[in-house]
């Protein structure tokens, strides 16, 4: 259970690696350009502080082209983009998947490698690694023919190292290419594939849904509930019918007291006094207005009608 838990904790990195493949189309154009500036940075990418150089990327792509294109180099732009994408994914697996496998203690032992090359005692139940059969030993027919010789000395496979090239339907072998010195890296490539296969097997076993969780999810999505909502406006509630406790009042005060503090901090008051005493000129003006009104009233025949209007 310890290794399962550790795998769960670290599995996020695995899925980040898959997303990195989306950047491969950028590398296609980058690697197609000719740069004359010697000071140009030759790093084509970096993940988690690990840089991937142009030289490393090109070497990985050449290996994949050899394996996937029948030993021939690519020419079409479409093929270039495809192999660029495959090489990018392969490097990411090497940089990250392998690191995770080492931390989890996942590796291919010498006994496992031996079984990958020659299979178990009963080949029908424990066959050799399919990648080796086709890409290291020239296909099943040639492998069966040379298996006993391969088993005698698995450290030197140069005499029996051939890559099988299939037709488009991958049913018939149309060519067998001698690997010679390339047999070593093809063998190492198979080891990497085996480690990744073991890691993926652990990941697939540690991510699952229990029966109870599946049931809860189903009920949550498919259950129908009859719900009625009711509400009463605050304005319709009689204040006298509410009797809050002392604790409720204090709690409400604690929630809103900051509003009063903010207002007080923003308030600015200026106090001043004004003495409203009329001047001599004001007095004279008022007396003149009263005298004029008196004259007007004396001239009116009906003062009551004047006042009413």
The closest alpha carbon to 84, from 68, 67, 61, 66, belongs to 61
Q: Which domain holds residue 202?
A: 2-206
Q: What is the largest CA-CA distance in the chain?
A: 150
Of the candidates 206, 146, 145, 135, the one whose C-alpha atom is nearest the C-alpha of residue 173 is 135
Q: Is 120 part of any domain?
A: yes
- Residue 168 lies inside a defined structural domain of this protein: yes
Query: Residue 138 and residue 141: Cα distance in Å, rounded?
Result: 8
Q: Is residue 247 part of a domain?
A: no
pLDDT tens, N- to C-terminus, the chain (309 residues): 454 455 444 444 444 444 444 444 444 444 555 444 444 567 877 767 778 888 888 888 888 888 887 776 665 556 667 788 888 888 877 777 777 777 888 888 899 999 999 998 888 888 999 999 999 999 999 999 999 999 999 988 889 999 998 888 888 898 898 988 888 889 998 998 898 888 888 877 776 667 887 888 888 888 877 777 777 777 777 777 788 888 888 888 888 887 766 555 566 667 777 777 888 898 899 888 888 888 877 777 776 766 655
Q: Phi, psi at residue 244, to the nearest 5°?
A: -70, 150
E strand or H helix that includes residue 43: strand 43-47
Residue 214 lies in a domain: no
Rg (CA), the chain: 45
Q: Which long-range contacts does 284-287 make (Cβ < 8 Å, 24+ apart)?
A: none
Q: How many domains does the chain have?
A: 1
Q: Mapped to the 3 state alphabet, what secondary structure does 225-266 carry?
A: CCCCCCCCCHHHCCHHHCCCCHHHHHHHHHHHHHHHHHHHHH
Query: Taking the model in full, what pTM does it have?
Result: 0.53
Specify if 216 maps to a domain.
Answer: no
Residue 34 CA to residue 49 CA, distance in Å, equals 26
**Is 231 contained in some domain?**
no
The reply to whether 220 falls in a domain is no
Domain-located, residue 67:
yes
Taking the C-alpha atoms of residue 18 and residue 197, their distance in angstroms, rounded to an integer, is 15
Smallest CA-to-CA distance from 165 within 132, 188, 135 is with 135
Q: 269 to each of 37, 259, 266, how far by Cα in Å? A: 71, 19, 10
């Amino acid at each position: 259970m310890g290794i399962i838990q550790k795998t769960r904790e670290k599995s996020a990195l695995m899925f980040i690696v898959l997303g990195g493949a989306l950047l491969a189309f950028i590398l296609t154009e980058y690697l197609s350009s000719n740069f004359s500036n010697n000071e140009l940075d030759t790093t084509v990418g970096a993940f988690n502080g690990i840089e991937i150089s142009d030289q490393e990327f090109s070497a990985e792509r050449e290996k994949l082209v050899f394996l996937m294109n029948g030993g021939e180099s690519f020419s079409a732009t479409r093929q270039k983009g495809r192999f660029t994408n495959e090489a990018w994914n392969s490097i990411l697996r090497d940089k990250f998947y392998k690191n995770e496998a080492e931390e989890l203690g996942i590796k291919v032992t010498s006994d496992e490698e031996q079984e990958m090359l020659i299979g178990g005692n009963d080949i029908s139940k424990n066959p050799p690694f399919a990648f080796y059969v086709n890409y290291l030993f020239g296909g099943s027919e040639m492998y069966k023919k040379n298996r006993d010789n391969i088993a005698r000395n698995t450290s030197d496979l140069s005499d029996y190292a051939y890559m099988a090239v299939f037709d488009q339907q991958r049913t018939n072998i149309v060519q067998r290419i001698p690997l010679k010195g390339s047999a070593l890296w093809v063998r190492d490539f198979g080891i990497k594939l085996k480690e990744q296969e073991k890691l993926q097997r652990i990941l697939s076993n540690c991510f699952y849904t229990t029966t109870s969780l599946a049931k809860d999810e189903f009920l949550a999505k498919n259950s129908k509930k009859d719900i009625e909502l009711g509400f009463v406006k605050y304005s319709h509630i009689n204040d006298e019918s509410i009797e809050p406790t002392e604790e409720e009042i204090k709690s409400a005060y604690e929630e809103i007291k900051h509003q009063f503090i903010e207002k007080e901090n923003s308030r600015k008051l200026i106090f001043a006094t004004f003495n409203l005493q009329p001047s001599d000129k004001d007095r004279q003006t008022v007396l003149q207005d009263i005298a004029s009104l008196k004259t007007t009233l004396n001239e009116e025949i009906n003062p009551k009608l004047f006042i009413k209007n």
